[in-house]
A and B are shown apart, each in its own frame.
Chain A
Amino acid sequence: MKSLLTGMKITGYYFTHHKEIITEQYPDNRATLKMADRFRGEVVMIHDENNEHACTGCSACELACPNGTIKIINKFEVNAEGKKKKAIDTFVYHLELCTMCNLCIVACPTDTIKMEPNFEHSVFDRSQLTKVLNHTGSKIKAGVE
């Protein structure tokens, strides 16, 4: 009987000490909820203020991905000296296949992709989860090989 009362005492303690309850009131706390910086939510491509990225289209991320999440479509651009140079046309990212294993981020030689801590991925149609990561009109930064 004593052992039952000992247990009841703890329950009673928390019944009267509301401050020790740590439940997160999601989604009411969406405005203040901050995920850790490293939290792996989705892959994004880093663009600077001039709409320039550092992706050379080397496909290292595509090879590193275990699930075929990334598909890179390349094109050839003619530079100022009249030479043909490989550049990315579209960086397709299938979020619905991604397991957030971080291998593409590690594989990227120019650190142009990173993980964003966004975790709210629910959409009405699965096709909305297929994303193009390079912004429209963006181009590669000068000097990135």
Chain B
Amino acid sequence: MIEELGTTSEGYMVINIGPQHPATHGVLRLVMTLDGETIIKTEPHLGYIHRSIEKMCESLSYRQFVYVTSRMDYLSSHMNNHGCSLVVEKGLQVEIPERAQVIRVLMDELTRVASHELWWGAMAMDLGAFTPFFHSFRERETITDIMEETCGARLTMNYICPGGVMADLHPDFQKRVKNFVTLFKSKFHEYNELVTGNIIFQNRMKGVGFLSAEDAISFGCTGPVARGSGVKSDIRKLYPYEVYNKLQFDEVLETGGDSFARYMVRINEMLQSIKIIEQLIDNIPEGEFQAKTKAVLKLPKGEFYQRVETARGELGVYIVSEGGTTPYRIKFRSPGFSNLSALPQMVKGSKIGDLVATMGTLDLVIPDIDR
């Protein structure tokens, strides 16, 4: 129910934040009940960018529906495509060539770094610091250039497809990724010097937007939001897919539960992703980049589920098949939706300014929440 705006009988003020508001990074509408500047209640209202992607997928074939998922969480489009491809492959029971698996993981990790970089810039901008945005985009630009060269697009990739990947790696790929890793490592100290160590930033982040581990579990939070509260939730570790079980990397955990803990999780996750990229970039096996599949894919009758770790948390893809060429039902379990559900709990009793800081650490992508 949409609450009436104005003043309540207790003297609280009910106002809108959004749907058009720079701090919500999209069309998220929050109906806030305020006592002066203190937040009494927050109610997120969704539906402003609903495109009924799940329903659309029901009329598309198993090859076609993958591209739509790039438009859900557009900052981790590779991982969305990855999840969809994996669930189709699970149904078809095809074995994916090792080369394709390594390429997929490489792309996933590059996207994760790009996504976290954008988040870092946008989050600092939410708090009033404009310069970090340009610093993060400088490194992110290198990744989008690499993507453009190999995948042919900068944001909505549709590169990972059922059976493997759409095209082989560009001959310059390895060289450019190595250059990026060197660049990233030489510039990473700037991130900490500009923002992390900044005393104003720390005062605004520490002790703000607290989420306990119990709450994180009960709200179904995943990804960096859950890991900031000390909940182990990395799908790459818990339910490894592709070549993740052969790789050496750590699940970044912080126990603080506040905005600063979530911030530190993402900052350290970037380093872990770089570590994965470094392990794989010199060890891309030779071979096919695509498994032999039929031109028209038909999944056997039944239910299939696969989860992947996107930059925001756990993405689950659930397909019910009737044995035809199109899915009977598709359901996406998107990380943003459950992470947003924890927001009212996190900001209760804090000030409006802290809401913006807390929302920044949730790393919300509204098309992912609304689909």
Contacts and interface: CB of A to CB of B under 8 A. Distances in A.
Contacts of B166: 102, 106
A19 B148 CA distance: 24
A78 interface: no
A122 to B, nearest CB: 18
B148 A39 contact: yes
Nearest to B64: A66
Contacts of A100: 152-153, 156
A10 B190 contact: yes
B156 A99 contact: yes
A36 B150 CA distance: 9
Interface in B135-182: 138, 141, 145, 148-153, 156, 158, 161, 166-167, 170
Given A7-B193, A10-B193, A36-B149, 16 more contacts: A3-B198, A7-B195, A11-B194, A36-B145, A38-B148, A38-B150, A38-B170, A39-B153, A40-B153, A64-B64, A66-B68, A99-B67, A101-B158, A102-B152, A102-B166, A103-B64
27 contacts: A1-B199, A3-B197, A4-B200, A7-B194, A7-B197, A9-B193, A22-B138, A36-B148, A36-B170, A37-B149, A38-B148, A38-B150, A38-B152, A38-B170, A39-B152, A39-B153, A40-B152, A64-B63, A99-B156, A101-B67, A101-B158, A102-B158, A102-B166, A103-B64, A106-B161, A106-B166, A107-B295
For the complex of A and B, the 3 pairs showing the least CB-CB separation, nearest first, are A66-B64, A101-B67, A38-B152
Interface string A30-42: 0000011111100
A22 B295 CA distance: 44
Interface string A106-122: 11000000010000000
B245 interface: no
Q: Interface size for chain B: under 10, 10 to 19, 20 to 34, or 35 or more residues?
A: 20 to 34
B151 A3 contact: no
Contacts of A10: 190, 193-194
A1 B60 CA distance: 58
Interface in B183-241: 190, 193-195, 197-200
A99 B60 CA distance: 14
Contacts, number: 66
A25 interface: no
Nearest to B170: A38
Contacts of B65: 66
The main secondary structure of chain B at its interface with chain A is: helix
Contacts of A99: 67, 156
A22 B141 CA distance: 9
A79 interface: no
B67 A66 contact: yes
Contact of B63 (A9, A22, A35, A103): A103
Contacts of B152: 36, 38-40, 100, 102, 115
Contact of B198 (A7, A101, A115): A7
A25 B64 CA distance: 37
Contact of B167 (A1, A6, A38, A66): A38
Interface in A1-29: 1, 3-4, 6-7, 9-11, 22
Nearest to A37: B149
